[in-house]
Amino acid sequence: MTPMREQKGHVIGISVDCPPPSLGSRAPFASTSSHTTVSGQTAAEIVSFLNGLQEPLLHLAVALHELGIRTGQALDVLCRTPEMWDAFIGKLQRDHEIKFADCVMIVDGLKMRRVGLQDAT
């Protein structure tokens, strides 16, 4: 078996180095044709959230973007509606083949951000 090389991926207008996908999983950046460009501020808010998780999950930025989580405001709305988290996580798992452990970290991050939003009011 030949060793996997690291892939270069584009995450919402930001170029990042991505570790090779684990065996049996699909590459998070299969092609650059799915490259999505949005404003730098939008990218920064989502990237900041993903980097702030227990284990940074920057490679999931494209999946969040494709599900409509493109701004800090959209992320805040998701955080304030925990009744939607199961549907959101289900779509991540079904449509984007996101691993269970990564989904657990995302939910934990949503909870922490929700607490921060409540404290800010």
Instruction: Give the model confidence (pLDDT) of 75-110 as tens digits.
Output: 999 999 999 999 999 999 999 999 999 999 999 999
Q: What percent of the chain has pLDDT over 90?
A: 61
End-to-end CA distance of the chain: 55
Query: What's the gap between Cα 39 and its chain centre?
Result: 16
For residue 9, give the DSSP letter.
Answer: E
Cβ pair 78, 46 in contact under 8 A: no
Give the model confidence (pLDDT) of 19-50 as tens digits: 444 433 333 333 333 344 445 655 789 999 99
